[in-house]
Amino acid sequence: TKGEYDGSNIAWTGRGTTANLEEIVIGRCNDYIGLKNPAAGKKNCTLLWQTLKSVFASKDPCKITQDDYKPFLTMAEHDIPSGKSIFWSQTGELTRQYADIVKNVMPLESTLTGYMMNGLNWCGQRSSSELNYEVCPAWNECEENAAKSFWRSASVVYAKKASGEVKVVLNGSSQTRAFRTESIFGSIELGNLDTNRISSIQLWIMDNLSGSDKESCGVGSIAQLEIALKHKGFKFSCIDNYRPVQLIQCIWMPEHKSCNICP
Ligand code: APR
């Protein structure tokens, strides 16, 4: 049954641990501190990997808590410059592309922890010290799964560090809602933002170029978010289809009417 995976009874349906996880994680760590962001300071990438692996190796992959990752996250911590924090929900790919191009924002995936683990899968198994390369719990198959607890815990650390002018990128064409209180942004990051450190929050509501304009600034779940921000005492502004980000969407659809520079 689910929650009782012991190596003989494959109950999960998520992708197994990424092949060569150790080499990838240690390599990415060295790439990050050596080339991508030397300001992160000196880190022992082998020790970081060992600390990370000890969180989930030989353990039930559904019994890994957010707290379990704290030693690793503390060891990997580094400054996030003021004004560079950018949160997202249902716009991960677009936000990463924007960050890679403009280089003046630092989403979680551009911090050491996020950079090391982005796009990877990992989990252990109770019956063996080998990681499970066959299957891992899918995101919703259990609450305290190895990957979900990692991203939640990393998000708490990331949100607490935000300062200056903060950005939030949401999807105005979401099939559900642009702002979901149950998302990591809505349930974890929002509550950990510090009014004393943050000067203002900019919401960027991006519609898919070919998708429908379901929600906008001041409408639907965005209005709910704006009320929540106001109650918490944040200064905020909201922009529909922030042009620099829209121009990245336009790379894939240059003929779209929203992409026409000289109408
Ligand atoms: N199945 C698999 N993965 C999922 C699922 C799911 N059902 N739901 C979320 N995830 C993982 C994916 O890796 C996805 O890219 O969480 C990521 C973000 O999910 P979204 O719903 O798009 O957004 P949200 O839950 O708000 O999390 C994004 O949290 O990671 C931080 O700083 C980051 O602000 C960002 C926010």
Q: What is the pLDDT of residues 146-170, one digit of tens each?
A: 999 999 999 999 999 999 999 999 9
Of all protein residues, whose CA lies closest to atom 1 belonging to ligand 1? 139
* Ligand 1 pocket check for 153: Cβ under 6 Å: no
ipTM summary value: 0.92
pTM over 0.90: yes
Taking the centre of ligand 1 as the mean of its atom positions, its distance from the CA of residue 206, in whole angstroms, is 17
* Ligand 1 pocket check for 92: Cβ under 6 Å: yes
Of all helices (H) and strands (E), which one includes residue 157?
helix 146-160
198-206 and 135-136 strand pairing: unpaired
| Amino acid identity, position 12 | W
Per-residue pLDDT for 129 more than 90?
yes
Q: What is the pLDDT of residues 206-244, one digit of tens each?
A: 999 998 889 999 999 999 999 999 999 999 999 999 999
Q: Are 171 and 206 in contact (CB under 8 A)?
A: yes
Instruction: Note the residue count of the chain.
Output: 263
Phi then psi dihedrals of residue 169, to 5 deg: -105, 120
Mean pLDDT value of segment 242-262? 94
- Band (pLDDT 50/70/90 cuts) for residue 263 is low
Beta carbons within 8 Å of 133's beta carbon, 6+ residues apart: 16, 17, 19
| End-to-end Cα spacing for the chain | 60
Of all protein residues, whose CA lies closest to atom 23 belonging to ligand 1? 89
| Amino acid identity, position 40 | A
* Ligand 1 pocket check for 189: Cβ under 6 Å: yes
Per the listing, tokens 């924090």 go with 85
| Amino acid identity, position 84 | K
Per-residue pLDDT for 192 more than 50?
yes
Nearest atom in ligand 1 to 155's CA: 31
* Ligand 1 pocket check for 221: Cβ under 6 Å: no
- Residue 140 — left, alpha, or beta (φ > 0 → left; ψ -120 to 50 → alpha)? alpha
Q: How far apart are CA 90 and CA 92, in angstroms?
A: 6
* Ligand 1 pocket check for 151: Cβ under 6 Å: yes
Please, what is the average pLDDT of the chain?
Answer: 95
